[in-house]
Amino acid sequence: MAALKGKRKEYLTVKDLQKVLDSCKLHLNQIDEVWPNVYIGNVAVAQNKNALLKLADDSTHFDLDVYFQPAADFIHKGLKSPDGKVLVHCIMGMSRSSTLVLAYLMIYHHLELKQALQKVIQKRAIYPNRNFLALLLDLDLQLTRKKKTCQIL
């Protein structure tokens, strides 16, 4: 029986896990960062634009611009196929995915950034983070310069 008890301690039980959970002394918040850049929150936070913007600002160091052309090419190719439709998505559907769609509209439809933003916000509430907006401004400048160079030639 002693040998059996020794073996049994190798495996956790639901009761063991509940004891670990019961040892937590924190208060339940609407949102918490549980791992670097990993959050657990409730539905109120998911529907709170200001709270989401704070989270989006945490990820402002990502160089999304390296994906502008490949994503635009992918979207363009997908739309050219028979009955082509493309879903561009990210976790919240308001920053990364919208940034890539804006880049597509700028690259393939020759819209200026402001025009692209105006078109998209007629259909969906989006909010690219500040870094992504800066990257789109750079793209806008590059495309404007390219357009002027082509007109001169």
The predicted-structure confidence for 89-148, as pLDDT tens digits, reads as follows 877 777 888 889 999 999 999 998 898 888 888 788 888 888 889 899 999 999 998 887
Same domain membership, residue 70 and residue 110: yes
Residues facing 32 on adjacent strands: 40
Q: Please report, as a single letter, which amino acid is at residue 118.
A: Q
Count of other CB atoms within 10 angstroms of residue 107: 20
Of 79, 90, 125, 134, the active-site residue reads: 90
The reply to whether 116 and 130 lie within a common domain is yes
Domain count, the chain: 2
Report how far Cα 133 is from the mean position of its chain's Cα atoms.
13
Please check whether residues 122 and 92 belong to one and the same domain: yes
Nearest to 143, CA basis, from 108, 101, 115:
108
Determine whether 90 is an active site residue: yes
| The predicted structure's pLDDT at residue 58 | 43
**Domain of 47, in residue numbers:** 2-58
Report d(CA 110, CA 79) in Å as an integer. Answer: 16
Query: Do 81 and 121 belong to one domain?
Result: yes
pTM of the model: 0.64
